[in-house]
């Protein structure tokens, strides 16, 4: 009861290697705007198709996500239940 807004929810922290591991057949996570989303099930129902979204599993999908979804309110409703946490470090640090 009274869970409040998203911001008040205690979000888990994941390292980039943990995110990058979730790019396989069973588990798929991706990052948008510094938040980690579990798309393992959602990807099969993604209106844009399973392939295009799965391509970004284990990665930062912010740029593609921003480019392909015009109605931010609509996609926001889909995003919300998929949120599982935040990455610990910046992507650039993980990849350098």
Q: Using CB under 6 A, list all residues that contact ligand HEM.
A: 37, 39, 46-48, 52-53, 56, 61, 64-65, 68-71, 74-75, 78-79, 82
Spatial separation of the C-alpha atoms in residues 79 and 59, rounded to whole Å: 16
Q: Of 1 and 48, which has the nearer Cβ to ligand HEM?
A: 48
Which position's Cβ is nearest ligand HEM? 48
3-state secondary structure of 92: helix
CB of 63 to ligand HEM, least distance (A): 9
Residue among 78 and 91 whose Cβ is closer to ligand HEM: 78
Residue 2 or 86 with smaller CB distance to ligand HEM: 86
CA 92 to CA 21: how far, in whole Å? 17
Bridge partner list, 85: 12, 36
Cα distances from 4 to residues 1, 28, 30, 60, in angstroms, run: 8, 27, 25, 27
Cβ proximity to ligand HEM, 18 vs 42, nearer residue: 42
């Amino acid at each position: 009861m009274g869970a409040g807004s998203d911001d008040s929810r205690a979000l888990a922290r994941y390292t980039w290697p943990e995110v990058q591991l979730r790019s396989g057949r069973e588990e798929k996570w991706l990052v948008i705007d510094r938040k980690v989303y579990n798309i393992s099930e959602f990807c099969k129902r993604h209106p844009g198709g399973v392939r295009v979204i799965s391509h970004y599993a284990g990665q930062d999908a912010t740029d593609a996500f921003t480019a392909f979804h015009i109605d931010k309110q609509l996609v926001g409703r889909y995003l919300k239940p998929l949120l599982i946490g935040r990455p610990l470090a910046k992507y650039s640090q993980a990849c350098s």
